[in-house]
Amino acid sequence: MTALSSENCFQYQLRQANQPLDGNCLLFLIILGKVLLNILTLGMRRKNSYHNFMEYFCFSLAFTDLLLLVSISIIYYFRDFVLLGIRFTKYHICLFTQIISFTYGFLHIPVFLIAFIDYYLNFSKTARLALKCQKLFYFFTVILIWISVLAYVLGDPGIYQSLKAQSVYSFQCPFYISIQSYWLSFSMLMILLMAFITSWSEVIALVQAVRLTSYMNETILYFPFSSHSSSTLSSKKTLLPKFIICFLGTWLPFVLLQVIILLLKVQIPAYIEMNIPWLYFVNSFLSATIYWFNCHKLNLRDVALPADPFVNWKCCFIPLTIHNLEQIENPISIIIC
């Protein structure tokens, strides 16, 4: 299969300097960049991460982006051809991307809610399934949500009229801007802001005291504390600043990017905004939320927490008298949350 190259794009632009930029060529470059970002993000994640709905959905999103890229490449290369009795032209490049944009735009809230329920059930262990059955359940759940949202998009009269109008004015190819992603991002940032304001003094103190080290062949954060402290280590007030440090230590650049986008009211097409880094950011936020609300159940000596693909939520609390973790053979005095 011959794919469209970036060199051909720029050569075309030089030859057509007096004409508008080829939107199809630019669209190909954007989708190509997104596919490469998907591959990079999936390659950087922890390989032993816990099986959950969000992980399966991320793989389905990467596959959908790749399928869109291949479709655009084939249509742009052949320009006008017939397949299975259907005639494909350059108009279909815009049409397919518009349908994908509408579909992505309506997926944010459903994916967020399903992932939240999935984390809650896994943590509370109210539903126990065999590993094979769990994988099949996640697979069919992902397929069902894609089919449901796509059917809604194709069956909505307003969306149909929008796609029909574009076929009349083929020189225009507007893309859907998701309102769901805006409010979801705004809500998460507000929650983060309120959590930081609530415990900002503890966060500053912990940032000054926190240390990064290796224990049991894992990189961990540990927070020295007074062994005579009367506060309960598993209390929500105690854990909140530590969770904030763990979360922002990984996602601070992404949080700042979201703040800039919201303040400047940047309108990003839905086919770009729904991406794997964004989903992993949401996944980490959900993990922290579930762990915090169930802090009284946190005890890694008895229960293995679902591993986040990027954030290590294992924070060691060590008495001030202990200075070398590697010398401890039996970590009785170490409480991990």
The tens digit of pLDDT for each residue in 149-208 reads 999 988 877 776 766 655 544 555 777 888 999 999 999 999 999 989 988 888 888 777
* Residue 319 dihedral angles phi and psi, to the nearest 5°: -60, 150
258: pLDDT confidence band, cut at 50, 70 and 90? Answer: very high
238: pLDDT confidence band, cut at 50, 70 and 90? Answer: confident
Short-list 273, 237, 70, 105, CA closest to 179: 105
218: pLDDT confidence band, cut at 50, 70 and 90? Answer: low
22: pLDDT confidence band, cut at 50, 70 and 90? Answer: low
* Share of residues in the chain with pLDDT > 70 (%): 64
Identify any residues that bridge with 222 across adjacent strands, giving them in sequence order: 211, 316
Mean pLDDT of 212-228: 61
321: pLDDT confidence band, cut at 50, 70 and 90? Answer: very low
107: pLDDT confidence band, cut at 50, 70 and 90? Answer: very high
Burial track 97-112 (b if 16+ CB lie within 10 A, e otherwise): bbbbbbbbbbbbeebb
- Give pLDDT, residue 278: 94
Cα separation of 3 and 12, whole Å?
Answer: 15
Asked whether residue 37 carries a pLDDT value surpassing 60, the answer given is yes
Kindly report which listed range (8-22, 114-128, 152-166) carries the lowest average pLDDT score: 8-22
Better pLDDT: 262 or 158: 262
Three-state secondary structure call for residue 317: strand
Please give the helix or strand (H or E) that residue 31 lies within, else none: helix 23-44
* Residue 220 dihedral angles phi and psi, to the nearest 5°: -135, 160
Asked whether residue 12 carries a pLDDT value surpassing 70, the answer given is no
Cα separation of 46 and 49, whole Å?
Answer: 6
Three-state secondary structure call for residue 80: coil
Better pLDDT: 47 or 64: 64
Cα separation of 62 and 227, whole Å?
Answer: 48
Instruction: Tell me how far the alpha carbon of residue 217 is from its chain's centroid.
Output: 27
- Give pLDDT, residue 303: 45
Short-list 257, 293, 263, 295, CA closest to 277: 257
The pTM (predicted TM-score) of the whole model is 0.79
Q: What's the maximum distance between 2 C-alpha atoms anywhere in the chain?
A: 78
Question: 13 near 21, Cβ under 8 Å?
Answer: yes
* Three-state secondary structure readout of 218-274: EEEEEEEECCCCCCCCCCHHHHHHHHHHHHHHHHHHHHHHHHHHHHHCCCCCHHHHC
- Per the prediction, the chain carries an average pLDDT of 75
- Give pLDDT, residue 241: 83
Asked whether residue 334 carries a pLDDT value surpassing 80, the answer given is no
